[in-house]
Amino acid sequence: MRARLERAKRLIVKVGSALVTNNGAGLDLGALQEWARQIAALRAEGREVLLVSSGAIAAGMQRLGWITRPHAMHELQAAAAVGQMGLAQAYEGAFSGYGLVCAQVLLTHEDLADRTRYLNARSTLSTLMELGVVPVINENDTVVYEEIKFGDNDTLGALVANLTEADCLIILTDQNGLYTADPRKDPSATLISEGDADDARFEAMAGGAGSGISRGGMITKVRAARRAARSGADTVIASGREPDVLLRLVRGEALGSYLKAGSSPLAARKQWLADHLQMVGTVTLDEGAARALRQGKSLLPVGVIDVQGQFERGAVVACRDTQGNELARGLINYSASETRRIARRASSEIEALLGYIDTEELIHRDNMVLA
């Protein structure tokens, strides 16, 4: 079952507060160095890695000399602001030691719920990966409310897996994985080595939060696995204190709990396009573009002869031939007004016509499902 993990090209690695801060003792620089070393090795193998890191509030608490986590929102946000400085500095130092550049990316759940901000976040992360930069992603705890109070970075890790269409989400924690019961309370609990991410029994098995430093717990990790599976990403829940855990996981070693998604990322996205999205516009194609789509190619602006409807970038539109037959539907990379301006024009003219260029394709074949 773990052969898919061995083949994975894009990984999301999520590390929790208890690991980042050594259970609240302060930033564990040795642990950060270890993750940077392993990520550098994965990059050398041709894999893309995005790191989702907790720890800003916990690091801020340590810097401010606070022993217990405060409850007042303004104090939590102040701790996040203080801690984020140290966290970014520590990761920069860790990755630079292996010749890697990293980038701080602060997100909120709202960024991933709003269509325009979602697409902007996806474009930024794609560009960083193309540049060979390691994104270090955290929730923007300084400005959010509900996410500090109830949220967790397990969910953020799953959302980033959805956003980037990753192959696998690896959640590193201070536990060995998912057990049949809470091993701290039930000595007969056994580790679940493999299973399906959507197995309803797993949520019932998961316990509460792991420590006073962490806001998550095994239940948030199980729910994150289910969410990641929606875009076809598998999930591994494993101990971040296991030596060379990332390198051993991608070799197929049976560490932690491997929760498998029901389909591949590409298949999951195309199923989502086919079944769940309402179309808000139509583009009519000339004969050459229609033939290209039937051959599995992307749609270029030069092949569009008419645009119907009002839509924004990222909307789902139908592609029809001149007889009105639906050929495909997909996520369009330009708004309706922009599409009208670049229709029948070569992709090389897009920047001159619009003042910018997002992509050369109007609809990429990976974001398209044939009728």
pLDDT (mean) for 362-371: 90
Ranges assigned E (strand) in 174-243: 194-196, 234-239
- Please determine, for residue 286, whether its predicted confidence score (pLDDT) is greater than 70: yes
CATH number at 277-370: 2.30.130.10
Please state, in angstroms and rounded to a whole number, the distance separating the CA atoms of residues 10 and 261.
15
Asked if residue 176 lies in contact with residue 239, where contact means CB atoms within 8 angstroms, the answer is: yes
Q: Which ranges in the chain are annotated with CATH 2.30.130.10?
A: 277-370
Helix, strand, coil shares, percent, the chain, to 5: 45, 20, 40
Task: Count how many Cα atoms sit within 13 Å of the Cα of residue 81 in the half-sphere of its side chain.
Answer: 9
Question: Rounded distance, CA 78 to CA 167, Å?
Answer: 35
Q: Distance between CA 124 and CA 141 in Å, rounded? A: 20
Look at residue 151 in the predicted model and tell me its pLDDT. 57
Position 160 scores a pLDDT of 92
The answer on pLDDT for 100 being more than 90 is: yes
Give CATH 3.40.1160.10 domain extents, the chain. Answer: 3-266
Report the distance separating Cα 332 and Cα 366, nearest Å: 11
Residue found under tokens 């990966």: 129
- pLDDT tens sequence across 199-240: 888 887 876 444 444 444 788 899 999 989 988 999 999 999
| pLDDT number for residue 147 | 45
- Structure-block tokens of residue 179: 């057990």
Average predicted confidence (pLDDT) for the chain: 88
Confidence of residue 261 (pLDDT cuts 50, 70, 90): very high
38-49 burial, b at 16+ Cβ within 10 Å, e below that, comes to bbbbbbeeebbb
Residue 49 in this model has a pLDDT that exceeds 60: yes
What residue type is assigned to position 147 of the chain?
E
Residue 220: count of CB within 10 angstroms of its CB: 24
CATH 3.40.1160.10 fits 3-266, yes or no: yes
Residues 6 or more apart whose Cβ sits within 8 Å of residue 69: 57, 61, 76, 212, 213
Q: Which two tokens stand for residue 33?
A: 């160095």
pLDDT at 239: 95
Q: Does the pLDDT at position 367 exceed 50?
A: yes
Residue 275 pLDDT: 64
Closest of 168, 139, 298, 156 to residue 231, by C-alpha: 168
**Amino acid, single-letter form, for residue 100:** L
Residue whose structure tokens are 């955290």: 138
pLDDT value, residue 145: 66
- Per-residue DSSP letter, 239: E
